[in-house]
Amino acid sequence: MDENSQFEEKSPNNINLNDEKVSNNVIDDSTATDKEMNLKYDSKRDVVKGGVLGTFIGLAVIVPGVSGSAMAIIFRLYEKLLYALGNIFKKFKKCFRFLLPIGIGAVIGLVLGFFGVQALLNFMPFAIIALFAGLMLGAFPSVKDQLKGERPTTKRILLFILGLILPIVISAISIFAIEGTESLDNLQFYHYIIFLVLGYIIAITQLVPGLSATALLMAFGYFSSLINSISLSYWQSNPKIFIVYLCLIVGFVIGLFTVSKFMSKLIDRHRAPTFFTVAGLSLGSVVSMFFNPDIVAVYRSWDFSWSTWCDLGVGIVLFIVGIIVAYLFVRYERNHKS
């Protein structure tokens, strides 16, 4: 009895000590997690990869359906990107160094998209869209890699279907529910609040794979008007447009900071459901690239002359080439990681 009583007296103490050890281990693990998020580029190749990722992020603002964050998953930089954006004020130097090549690439992609891709879209619209759609589809296995070993439960399948439908619904709204283009002239005070919110939503499209900033702007009716506003003559006749730009930028920056933190926590706590949704969004975005106001206008203009068949034929070839190139890159990244 004495031995039992002694054992009973010692047991609670032992349990408390073990609990303390467990608690300490949890704290150490959380601290280690912060340290393990290495944002340092290990080679010039990694710096270039960050720049290429930024280029796709810039292009995503111009080309319907292109998702910069989906490309971040391909490059295995998605979670680092979220971490760097969410901690930019807390760990400025470390995060800024990581984001710098991506930011430079984004500017290049935006300029290239506006002056280069837009010109190509005017020349062979279907072919160029097909190329980017092929790249997105060929890269899908990299998104699927995030779900290895995860069981497709009913809830997860529903989230996948929801993600698949969402980009298509946004495109449908932009085609059938929006009449014409919203003007940027004679704006009222409430319009600037709308642009703040719109900038925030655009940030969401850059951080949630599969969502397209272009499709979203089309859905709100502001894509064409914003693109057409970028000219010296327009700036001279309507200088208030710079307030619009400022509102979009402020909303965008706030969105990047807050949404990146939210997405990081979501992946950390609900990784499998999040990536099932992301997988659906990624496939849905490929469909939306062939189903948006710009490309539907192209379909309606087809007269099945030589130029139409040329655009269609080249588009099919580029679509296949895009799939092959993107998939080979995914395989290369897999081998490099292993």
What pTM was estimated for this model as a whole?
Answer: 0.71
Which pLDDT score, from 0 to 100, does residue 17 have? 40
- Is the model more confident about 217 or about 255? 255
How far lies 178's CA from each of 15, 167, 221, 222, in Å?
Answer: 65, 16, 6, 10
* Residue ranges of domains in the chain: 38-337
Give me 120's structure tokens: 């190509």
Q: What letter would DSSP give residue 146?
A: G
Q: Where are the alpha helices (DSSP H) in the chain?
A: 2-36, 44-59, 68-74, 78-86, 92-112, 118-123, 125-138, 140-144, 154-172, 189-207, 213-220, 223-228, 232-237, 241-269, 271-289, 293-301, 306-337
- Is the per-residue pLDDT at 31 higher than 70? no
> Is 90 within 8 Å of 260 (Cβ atoms)?
no
Does position 255 have pLDDT exceeding 50, yes or no?
A: yes
Give pLDDT, residue 337.
66
Give the dihedral of Cα atoms 256, 180, 287, 315; nearest 10 deg: -110
pLDDT in the model for residue 298: 85
pLDDT above 70 coverage of the chain, percent: 86
Residues 185-228 have pLDDT tens digits of 888 888 899 999 999 988 888 888 777 777 778 777 788 788 78
pLDDT digits (tens, 9 = 90+) for 58-94: 887 777 667 777 778 877 888 889 999 988 888 888 8
- Structure confidence at residue 285 (pLDDT): 82
* 8-state DSSP, 212: -
Kindly tell me if the per-residue pLDDT of 338 is higher than 90. no
- Look at residue 13 in the predicted model and tell me its pLDDT: 44
Distance CA 288, CA 302 (A): 19
How does residue 30 score in pLDDT terms, banded at 50, 70 and 90? Answer: very low
Is residue 180 over pLDDT 90? no
In this predicted structure, the answer to whether residue 23 has a pLDDT above a threshold of 50 is no
pLDDT tier at 178, thresholds 50, 70, 90: low
